Amino acid sequence: MIAVLKSNASDFEKSFEALLARGAMDISSVEGRVKELLQEIKTQGKEAVIAQVLRFDSWNPKSFLELKIAQKEMECAYNNLDSNLKHALELAYQRIYAFHTKQMPKTWLDFEENGNLLGQKVTPVDRAGLYIPGGKAAYPSSLLMNAIPALVAGVKEIVVCTPTPKNQPNTLLLAAMHLCGIKEAYKIGGASAIGTLAYGVSGKDGIQKVDVITGPGNIYVATAKKLVFGEVNIDMIAGPSEIGILHNGKGSVDYVAWDLLSQAEHDEMASSILITTNAEFANAVTKRVDELLKDLPRKEIAEKSINERGAIIIAKDLDEAVELMNEIAPEHLEVLVENPLEILPKIKHAGAIFIGENTPEPIGDYIAGPNHTLPTGGSAKFFSPLSTEHFMKKSSIIAFSKQGIMQLGKECGILAHTEGLEAHQNAVLARLNHN
């Protein structure tokens, strides 16, 4: 049964601290092993990758080339899709593409009165690596959410890595690759995939290293991404999925119960948290969650998640509910209250905000348009959703006129002198004296 906490209880603070620590991953417990795997790939290349695929994915590729997914295989999977499924996939593609087009950063130039030119140049990275999870489930939607912003950003080379246990690729994932125009994809998972993308493997039919790696994964993937950061850029270090629901106790119990379970069925480590001002509603949701669990196909996973990492908090009022949810900073936040737009300015931390009872979190997972690759474990306080900007970089543009250097050079020299950097000072003074 999901835990029910009261904000005015004497032991609430201790229980709430446990919720805040929900995203803590014991990276230290796997860091040594992940370092070994990465070092093997860095020094041994293809041989190490093949050996690791055999070890972790239960099949034995005869050569590195066998790890590559053929474009013809992607195309065949797409062409053989059920027509309704193909339509849904294409509609999701169109909506995700349209949303990310609107968030594109811009190159800009600004001329000052003295003739100085300042600005910003935005350019895509040359090569992006996308990690798409597999194993317990395959996620074609994650392929769309990672590939489309890269395409919109203008990345020319996109490389996909995904685990394929027993060498059985997911057909819908292959179809999604074709829809996104993926030309380079490999049957490599876990930390092995992150190492392969970050370092590359040399030789004929090898893999060139990428500039940025995006995509969610388990603790081994998260640890590997953390370790290769600096060698390449990464999007974020994401943990298990989670949902927070703000509710004033007026509305459908079923809606809330299903929304909590929609996250719980992802993973035993997923977190489902409801904060409501109505104790009667909280009890009704608790009962309904237990009823719905009985017939859920992924009952074992969802039940463990609900029992060990779920919670319903009864707050004294809506202001306290919002304050507590800001501390939690959930990956997904549903706002199911009267006049939700009125409290929107008070919400400071959330990966994605779903407003109103007609906006269940799964609509954002698949077809709404905004990205579903979101910060977890409270990191929404400082991370943002995956976007086109993760696949782009910015360069500052500075061009001073003769008048501009004369106007600002003296002060620049003073600051350089104060820091004890004589060559800096003289580089500026040389221009002033020459003019």
The CATH number of whichever domain residue 306 belongs to comes to 3.40.50.1980
Q: What is the pLDDT of residue 434?
A: 82
Q: What is the pLDDT of residue 117?
A: 97
Domain-located, residue 383: no
Same domain, 45 and 188: yes
Token code pair at residue 58: 């239960």
Same domain, 329 and 353: yes
Domain-located, residue 391: no
Domain-located, residue 146: yes
Question: Last residue of some domain: 177, 203, 238?
Answer: 238
Counting residues of the chain whose pLDDT is more than 90, the rounded percentage is 92
Question: Last residue of some domain: 347, 368, 389?
Answer: 368
Give the residue carrying structure tokens 């193909």.
86
Same domain, 250 and 207: no
Q: What is the pLDDT of residue 23?
A: 77
266 annotated as ligand-binding: yes
> How many folded domains does the chain comprise?
3
Same domain, 39 and 166: yes
Same domain, 165 and 280: no
13 annotated as ligand-binding: no
Cα–Cα distance measured from residue 89 to residue 70, given in angstroms and rounded to the nearest whole number:
21
Same domain, 316 and 416: no
Same domain, 351 and 298: yes
User: Could you tell me which residues are beta bridge partners of residue 129?
Assistant: 159, 213
Domain-located, residue 375: no
Domain-located, residue 374: no
Domain-located, residue 106: yes
Q: Sorting pLDDT into bands at 50, 70 and 90, what band is 136?
A: low
Question: Last residue of some domain: 189, 222, 238?
Answer: 238
Mean pLDDT of 1-22: 92
Same domain, 278 and 227: no
Same domain, 142 and 81: yes
Catalytic residues: 331-332
**Residues spanned by the domain of 421:** 400-433
Domain-located, residue 419: yes
| pLDDT tens digits for range 192-220 | 999 999 999 998 889 999 999 999 998 99
Same domain, 417 and 348: no
Same domain, 18 and 78: no
Q: Sorting pLDDT into bands at 50, 70 and 90, what band is 134?
A: confident
Is the CB of residue 146 less than 8 Å from the CB of residue 387? no
Residues 6+ apart with CB under 8 A from 77: 171, 172, 174, 175, 178
Same domain, 289 and 416: no
Mean pLDDT of 386-414: 97
C-alpha to C-alpha distances, 152 to 103, 144, 203, 231, 388, nearest whole angstrom = 10, 12, 31, 24, 7
Mean pLDDT of 239-243: 92
241 annotated as ligand-binding: yes
| pLDDT tens digits for range 318-361 | 999 999 999 999 999 999 999 999 999 999 999 999 999 999 99
Is the CB of residue 40 less than 8 Å from the CB of residue 52? yes
Q: What is the pLDDT of residue 137?
A: 64
Q: Sorting pLDDT into bands at 50, 70 and 90, what band is 16?
A: very high
Q: Sorting pLDDT into bands at 50, 70 and 90, what band is 22?
A: confident
**pTM: predicted TM-score of the whole model, two decimal places:** 0.94
390 annotated as ligand-binding: no
Domain-located, residue 395: no
